[in-house]
Amino acid sequence: MVLLSALAWSCDEDDKLPDGQAAIKLTQDTNNWIFEVMSQFYYWLDNMGTPIADTSDPEDYFSALLYTPTDRFSVIYPDYQDLINTLSGVSLDPGYEFKLFRESATNDNVYAQVLYVKKESPASAAGLLRGDIITKVNGTQFTINNYRELLGQTEISHKITYLRYNESEDIYIPQGELTLNPVELSEDPNYLDTVYTINNQKIGYVVYNFFAPDPGDKSKSFDLKMDDIFSELKAENVQHLILDLRYNGGGYVSSATNLASLIGSGVTSADIFSKTKYNDFLTANIPDLKDEKTNFLTKSQNIGNSLTGNRVYILTTEGTASSSELIINGLKPYMDVFLIGEVTYGKNVGSIAIEDEENPANKYGLLPIISQSFNSEDKSDYSVGFQPNIVVNEYSELFLPLGDVNEIMLRTAIEQITGQPSSARFKKIERTELANSLERKIRFGQMIEEPIQKF
């Protein structure tokens, strides 16, 4: 990522300073860098906040510049390389994601229910399953008062006390304790893909959990795997596609473009996927940015023309954000995008990851909002999220494995395709949602644009 920076840095001069003065100088240099970056890139440049003292903590300095409450998204991160790794799915991770609920309105207990378990992770090796209920972390019961603190403990070595549902007895049975030690995990966003044949209808199902081209090694291995998945769907002659983005909080625009190019009906590199608007400073200095467009890719694996009714079904939750919403918005001019689930997050603005290339002592990374995205019809009206065609709350029933045709969201999509409701009976649950682990990921709510070159 290229930083537009004119800040001079002299290691020799700063090495001569006493430790206390050197620390103050580094803070000042870091804050001056932050101000220069924001003064060039920030989308809401005309509404940028007044800077505070340049000796302030850099995170406080950065926050003071944000256009609040409109800007809920710009981020400063303590270490740029950790930021890049996390955006690519590489991090210290025990290997499971979960949602927190209140146990009851009559007590303060809280529990965590596992949303999914990552492949080849400590949680997977230990046998943890989607739907398992975690009641304690390191022997301490989750409560309304301590769950935020306990969330942090799940990111390091920890023990969980958990329950598992027994269908024959219709109860959750204690499973004892598990010790989970995080490892550096390279998570593959291509979580699940399969084809169902139901009532002579070939239905492709793809679960995709974040947008990243590769694990940071520039191999494009994740994008290439997605190409292979769609090649198999095409070979199977699928007539319908269900794209599950319920846990997908965003990521790189390049991977969103790749995925959309595999789905869009009749799209080629001559067709516009998205348009990008920047601030006046950037467009004045880089004229090409005044008419910035991202075209689809011409993909031999594209299945759009085989989809019945020119329709794609997308499963959504409140955690479906940023690049996931870019997919929805970008495909709408070309096909019927049918949403099943909940209102999406609502983020139509994008970022780039920026480091201080002039000052190696400054480890901070920035993800400022620098742009707003539009589709080929110049529409960008989803800042409050996309409304689903069919409202479904996945937490209103017992969790079933992802890919189980009786799982509530997949079941609803299949019913819409076949026109036949399921005859099975399902136990309804009423519960109050509190938080989830996915929202703690730095990639949540991010739409990462291509880097902008120097003036």
What CATH number is given to the structural domain containing 98? 2.30.42.10
The answer to whether residues 126 and 229 belong to one domain is: no
The answer to whether residues 283 and 372 belong to one domain is: yes
The answer to whether residues 391 and 249 belong to one domain is: yes
The answer to whether residues 109 and 67 belong to one domain is: no
Domain-embedded: residue 452: no
Domain-embedded: residue 6: no
Least Cα distance to 181 among 131, 237, 138 occurs for 138
Domain-embedded: residue 5: no
The answer to whether residues 147 and 41 belong to one domain is: no
pTM: 0.90
The answer to whether residues 280 and 299 belong to one domain is: yes
Domain span at 137: 91-185
The answer to whether residues 301 and 256 belong to one domain is: yes
H helical segments located in 264-335: 280-285, 323-331
User: b/e map of 213-236 (b: 16 or more CB within 10 Å)?
Assistant: bbbbeeebbbbeebbebbbebbee
The answer to whether residues 268 and 358 belong to one domain is: yes
Domain-embedded: residue 232: yes
The answer to whether residues 115 and 215 belong to one domain is: no
Residue 200, number of CB atoms within 10 A of its CB: 7
Residue 62, number of CB atoms within 10 A of its CB: 24
CATH number of the domain where residue 250 is located? 3.90.226.10
pLDDT tens, residue order, the chain (455 aa) = 333 443 334 444 555 656 678 999 999 999 999 999 999 999 999 999 999 999 999 999 999 999 999 998 999 999 999 888 888 888 889 999 999 999 988 899 999 999 999 999 999 999 999 999 999 999 999 999 999 888 888 889 999 999 999 989 999 999 999 999 999 999 999 999 999 999 999 999 999 999 999 998 999 999 999 999 999 999 999 999 999 999 999 999 999 999 999 999 999 999 999 999 999 999 999 988 998 999 999 999 999 999 999 999 999 999 999 999 999 999 999 999 999 999 999 999 999 999 999 999 999 999 999 999 999 999 999 999 999 999 999 999 999 999 999 999 999 999 999 999 887 788 889 898 998 888 877 677 677 777 776 54
Domain-embedded: residue 431: no
**What angle, rounded to 10 degrees, do the helices at 253-263 and 221-235 form?**
10
Token digits of residue 389: 């065609």
Contact predicate 402/97, CB 8 Å = no
The answer to whether residues 276 and 409 belong to one domain is: yes
The DSSP bridge partners found for residue 351 are: 369, 448
The answer to whether residues 22 and 127 belong to one domain is: no
